Amino acid sequence: MMRVTVAVVAKECVPGRVKTRLTPQLSPVQAARLAQASLDDTLDLVRALPAGRRILFFSGQAPPSAVGVEVIEQPEGALDVRLGHLFDAVTGPLLLIGMDTPQLTAEAVAGPVWSWPDSVDAWFGPAADGGYWALAMREPDGGLIRGVTMSAPETGREQRRRLVDAGLRVRDLETLRDVDHVEDAGVVAVDAPHGRFASVWHRIRQEVPRVG
């Protein structure tokens, strides 16, 4: 079995700096708590995968939940530049996932992690909002990421087209919902009812009954 590097891209869950689109329905502190729970659930999954290398590609002070995971500090620059840096720094097959999909399961990444076929050069995980939650390349190339418009409705379409235009054979993963808005949080908590994210979400609903 080919050993894949699995990396999570994330930033420190500081109130007022993370998940700001969850406010004003939630307070900055509540939004940060949800973000941390989402990251912690994601790291739990990554530790359970048979990866050759596990990376937290992080901006800020790494959380205690990063135990057992190699932390690489993000460089300065726009998101496309930072992701490009990671894809240039890693040798061998690389799967990148975000911190915004705590409902992610091992089955959803079975293709790149357990059974990457010779006929596939890249994997693409589309997000419901038009972005993407996963990107994998057999031969990582940051040049295929730099210049892609980030955090926009066309981000996913543009990134996937960049891979195809480079001649890569791309296979899609399932579409997942990022937690960007309060409505997303409620849906994701239902999809993954046993994780930290769902637990924190239900506590927040008790604090703010009108939410959700």
- pLDDT at residue 42, rounded to an integer: 98
Q: Is residue 161 part of a domain?
A: yes
Percent of the chain with pLDDT over 90: 95
CATH number at residue 161: 3.90.550.10
Q: Is residue 187 part of a domain?
A: yes
Q: Is residue 104 part of a domain?
A: yes
Work out the number of other CB atoms within 10 angstroms of the CB of residue 48.
9
Q: pLDDT digit string (tens) for 131-170?
A: 999 999 999 999 999 999 999 999 999 999 999 999 999 9
What mean pLDDT is predicted for residues 104-120? Answer: 96
Q: Is residue 33 part of a domain?
A: yes
- The string over 146-177, giving b where at least 16 C-beta atoms fall within 10 Å of a residue's C-beta and e elsewhere, is bebeeeeeebbbbbbebbeeeebebbebeebb
Q: Is residue 140 part of a domain?
A: yes
Q: How many domains does the chain have?
A: 1
Host domain of residue 125: 5-206
Percent of the chain with pLDDT over 70: 99
Is the predicted pLDDT of residue 212 greater than 90, yes or no? no
- pLDDT at residue 208, rounded to an integer: 78
Q: Is residue 193 part of a domain?
A: yes
Q: Is residue 212 part of a domain?
A: no
Q: pLDDT digit string (tens) for 10-50?
A: 999 999 999 999 999 999 999 999 999 999 999 999 999 99
Q: Are strands 5-11 and 53-59 parallel, antiparallel or unpaired?
A: parallel
Q: Is residue 211 part of a domain?
A: no
